Every structure is written in structure tokens, then in C-alpha cells.
């Protein structure tokens, strides 16, 4: 379902053995929610049941959340929105202009459902957005209620949990051992999936399948470790499918918060890791590609494409434009694939290593496999590097200073 169609030429033997050992350590841990979730018998039942009750009356889902509380949902929505029977609107930043326009453009509040997500229940942006939403609804004679809202958070006292409990708003649990950026296969992503009319259980089938792909996971992790030792300090995740464009941004957060640490678990100095950058093909060939080919030789490129896109749609019968006869009898997907392959060849000719990942199709199962594959890759890299891949101390200072600035 997911395979490598291209990989860089490099000797990977020594790192590969150590990364296989890191994989075994990872999957044997009992404290990681994104793995434990797959061991539960029916972890999605509450989300699916809640969605079934709401679905007949919901045409718009408004997701209120930051970072890991919305990025995975964005990936899913972008992948499936063309066949979804509901619209999803994301309230994912405290930009006042955009917020007001989104609120004012909601046409029918009677068919709008609000999903508020915060793992800790204390996220200032999420709580502030929820306050302003409630304030705006009251001006229209409405309110967040058990019928119009659902909350996803940890089942323990917090401002969000306490508020939802006092209002009788249903709460879907986020396990304490499940980090927000690893939460897409939990209620966070699967409640919206169910509300969109897709099969949430198939996502978990795909995710469990990723656990059987030890060789793929360790192969990718080995390539990344080798790129670090080769001083490739920028990793570009380049999607050749618009349906997977947001996946690069989900992975950007997962990679950045998990791997860039100031100290190892043993208290030593960690090894340096690369900075992730999300790109889109073929659009970024007309801009970023110049930087790749003639800029500093400090990059690894990871290309993603979907096999079924190649022959999707009809072929062009006759071009109206002179010089474009080469597209006659070709599908648009064939052009996209040719551009991807040509980009790989051109950057490798300039000395830049590339990895190619291909999905057979884009279904619930394959997307679940893709999510889990990269969660496992990140976990393996964390084990190999000896770091805590599940905390994020680097973002905490900004939160403290934000409160101080607001208090002045």
C-alpha cells in the first residue's frame, strides 16, 4: 500500500542494524499512547457513536484547536473533502480579522457543530477562541450547548473540561499518554472522519498494518539518520498530490517538536537534526527548486505521490497550443508524474539526495498507514538519538511570556 519508488544511493548497513534495535525498543514501550491506541479493542466507539447521533443535522463542522489539535484533521479533510457531505471550517489562530470573517460567513447556525480540542484543556488560544465564539453566538440568540458542541480533552480537571462538564457538553477522551501531535488516529481525527461519513475503523486497520512494516519504517529512519551525518540540515517533504499537501505541515510539526531537543534523556548533548520544510509539486518547482539545485548542498528531498493519480481522468485529445503536442493522448496525472520524476532526476544530478514514497491510492486505510508510518519513524529516530520525542520544552517559554505580556 505504501512503498519506496526511489531512494538515495548510500551505505546504510551500520545505521540500519542500530535502528532496527531502536524499533524494537519503541514498539515494546508501554507508555506511548499512539501505539497503545492500536491495542485497544474498540477505541473509537464513543467518537463513532457521537458522530452518528449528530450527522443527520450537521452540514458544517467548526474545529477549534491549535497545532496537533487541527493539523491532522486538515490532512484528512483535504484528502477527502471532494467526496464529503459536510464542510469543515478551522478556527486555528487568534487572528481577529480572519476570525470575524469566518464567524460572520456562517450561513446556518442550526446545522453547524463546534468541536473544541485541547489536550491539556488550558491552551490559551483555544480557550480564547471558544470565549469569542460563545460571545458571538449570544449576540445571535445562540449558545454552545450539548447539541451544538463537542469537546475533546483529557478526562481530568482543567478550564475546558470543567466548562464542558458544567454545561453538559459531551466530552470525548484524549488518553493522558497520547501527545497532541500524535493524536490524529484518536477521537481528534476520527470523530470528524465519522461525521464526514467515512470509516474511522479503516484508519486503524491501516495504522495497525504500518506496525507490520518494520523494514519500511527502519529504512526511512536510516535514510534520515544518514542525512544528518551527511550534514543535510533541511529535509523537504514535497507532495505531488494536492490531496496530501497538508500532510507536509502535519509532519512538519511532528518532526520539529519531537526531534529538535536541547538535551538527551541521559543529560548529554543531542545530535543535530534537520529542519523540515513542506513543499508542493508541481508549483514549487517554479521557485524552491532553484534554491535546491543551485543553493547550498544541505538538503534531503522526500517526494510523495499517489499511484492512482497517474491515469485519473481522461486524456487530452488535441492541444490548442503550438508546441504542446507532447500532451496529446496523455492524462494530466501523467504530466504530474513526469514532473515529479524529472525533478528527482534533476536534483540528483546536482548532488541532492532524494527519497520517493508512493501510495497505491488515497483511502481511509492508506492514509492511516501513512500517518502511523511516520509516527513510528519519528519514534524510532527518538530512540536512536536518545531523546525524549514526546515533550516540547522549547515552546513552553513563549507561553509563559505571553501570559506575562497580557498581565501588564
Angle at 215 between CA 210 and CA 216, to 5 degrees: 60
- pLDDT string in tens for the chain (408-residue length): 899 999 998 766 667 889 999 999 999 999 999 999 999 989 999 999 999 999 999 999 999 999 999 999 999 999 999 999 899 999 999 999 999 999 999 989 999 999 999 999 999 999 999 999 999 999 999 999 999 999 999 999 999 999 999 999 999 999 999 999 999 999 999 999 999 999 999 999 999 999 999 999 999 999 999 999 999 999 999 999 999 999 999 999 999 999 999 999 999 999 999 999 999 999 999 999 999 999 999 999 999 999 999 999 999 999 999 989 999 999 999 999 999 999 999 999 999 999 999 999 999 999 999 999 999 999 999 999 999 999 998 888 888 888 889 887
pTM of the complete model? 0.96
Domains recognised in the chain with CATH numbers = 2-29+205-393 (3.40.50.10490), 33-199 (3.40.50.10490)
d(CA 301, CA 356) in angstroms, rounded, equals: 8
Instruction: Give bridge partners of residue 357 from the DSSP assignment.
Output: 4, 304
| The predicted structure's pLDDT at residue 277 | 97
Ramachandran category for residue 320: left, alpha or beta (phi over 0 → left; psi -120 to 50 → alpha):
alpha
Q: How far is the C-alpha of 79 from the C-alpha of 88, rounded, in Å?
A: 12
CA angle, 116 as apex, 110 and 121 as ends, to 5°?
Answer: 150
For residue 282, is the peptide bond before it cis, meaning its omega torsion is within 30 degrees of 0? yes
β-pair partners for 171: 151
Task: Look at phi and psi of residue 51 and say left if phi exceeds 0, alpha if psi is from -120 to 50, else beta.
Answer: alpha
Q: Which of the 8 DSSP states describes residue 270?
A: P
What is the CB neighbour count within 10 angstroms for residue 248?
20
Which residues make Cβ contacts (< 8 Å) with residue 82, sequence separation at least 6?
none
Cα distances (angstroms) measured from residue 377 to each of 203, 215, 280 = 18, 11, 22
Q: Taking the mean position of all CA atoms in its chain, how far away is CA 271?
A: 25
Rounded distance, CA 308 to CA 399, Å?
Answer: 44
Q: Cα-flanking dihedrals φ and ψ of residue 396, to 5°?
A: -75, -35
For residue 1, the model assigns a pLDDT of: 80
- In whole angstroms, how far apart are CA 146 and each of 111, 137, 143, 342, 358? 14, 15, 10, 53, 42
Between vectors from CA 385 to CA 380 and to CA 390, what angle results, nearest 5°? 65
What CA–CA distances, in Å, run from 322 to 282, 327, 335?
22, 11, 17
Q: Report the C-alpha gap between 145 and 148 in whole angstroms.
A: 5
String of DSSP letters for 327-360: GTT-BHHHHHHHHHHHHHHHHHHTT--EEEEEES
Task: Look at residues 180, 281, 182 and name the one whose alpha carbon lies nearest to residue 236.
Answer: 281
**CA distances (Å), origin 390, targets 143, 198, 286:** 36, 29, 36
What is the edge-to-edge ordering of all strands in the sheet holding 171-173? 87-91, 60-64, 112-117, 149-153, 171-173
Measured distance CA(194)–CA(3) in Å, rounded: 27
- DSSP state letters, 41-74: SSTTHHHHHHHHHHGGG-SEEEEE--GGGTHHHH
**Cβ-based neighbour number of residue 105 at 10 Å:** 8
Phi, psi values for residue 59, rounded to 5°: -115, -20
Amino acid at each position: 500500500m505504501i512503498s519506496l519508488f526511489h531512494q538515495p544511493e548510500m551505505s546504510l548497513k551500520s545505521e540500519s542494524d542500530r535502528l532496527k534495535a531502536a524499533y524494537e525498543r519503541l514498539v515494546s514501550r508501554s507508555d506511548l499512547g499512539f501505539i497503545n491506541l492500536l491495542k485497544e479493542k474498540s477505541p473509537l466507539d464513543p467518537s463513532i457513536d457521537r458522530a452518528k447521533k449528530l450527522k443527520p443535522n450537521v452540514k458544517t463542522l467548526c474545529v477549534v484547536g491549535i497545532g496537533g489539535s487541527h493539523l491532522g484533521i486538515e490532512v484528512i479533510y483535504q484528502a477527502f473533502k471532494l467526496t464529503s457531505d459536510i464542510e469543515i471550517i478551522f478556527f486555528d489562530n487568534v487572528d481577529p480579522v480572519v476570525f470575524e470573517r469566518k464567524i460572520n460567513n456562517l450561513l446556518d447556525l442550526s446545522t453547524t457543530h463546534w468541536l473544541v480540542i485541547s489536550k491539556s484543556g488550558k491552551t490559551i488560544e483555544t480557550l480564547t477562541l471558544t470565549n469569542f465564539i460563545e460571545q458571538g453566538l449570544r449576540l445571535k440568540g445562540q449558545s454552545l450547548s450539548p447539541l451544538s458542541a463537542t469537546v475533546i480533552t483529557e478526562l481530568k480537571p482543567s478550564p475546558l473540561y470543567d466548562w464542558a462538564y458544567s454545561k453538559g457538553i459531551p466530552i470525548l477522551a484524549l488518553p493522558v499518554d497520547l501527545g497532541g501531535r500524535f493524536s490524529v488516529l484518536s477521537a481528534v481525527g476520527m470523530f470528524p472522519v465519522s461525521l464526514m461519513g467515512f470509516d474511522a475503523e479503516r484508519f486503524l486497520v491501516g495504522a495497525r498494518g504500518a506496525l507490520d512494516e518494520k523494514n519500511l519504517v527502519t529504512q526511512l529512519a536510516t535514510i534520515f539518520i544518514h542525512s544528518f551525518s551527511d550534514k543535510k540540515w533541511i529535509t523537504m517533504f514535497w507532495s505531488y498530490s494536492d490531496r496530501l499537501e497538508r500532510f507536509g505541515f502535519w509532519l512538519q510539526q511532528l518532526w520539529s517538536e519531537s526531534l529538535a531537543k536541547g538535551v538527551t534523556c541521559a543529560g548529554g548533548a543531542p545530535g543535530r537534526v534537520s529542519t523540515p520544510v513542506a513543499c508542493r509539486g508541481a508549483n514549487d518547482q517554479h521557485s524552491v527548486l532553484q534554491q535546491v539545485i543551485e543553493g547550498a548542498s544541505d538538503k534531503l528531498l522526500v517526494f510523495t505521490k499517489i499511484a492512482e493519480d497517474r491515469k485519473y481522468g481522461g486524456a487530452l485529445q488535441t492541444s490548442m497550443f503550438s508546441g504542446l503536442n507532447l500532451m496529446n493522448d496523455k492524462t494530466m496525472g501523467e504530466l504530474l508524474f513526469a514532473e515529479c520524476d524529472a525533478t528527482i532526476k534533476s536534483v540528483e544530478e546536482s548532488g541532492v539526495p532524494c527519497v520517493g514514497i508512493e501510495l497505491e491510492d488515497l483511502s481511509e486505510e492508506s492514509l492511516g498507514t501513512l500517518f502511523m508510518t511516520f509516527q513510528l519513524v519519528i519514534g524510532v529516530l527518538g530512540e536512536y538519538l536518545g531523546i525524549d520525542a514526546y515533550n516540547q520544552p522549547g515552546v513552553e517559554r513563549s507561553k509563559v511570556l505571553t501570559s506575562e505580556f497580557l498581565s501588564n
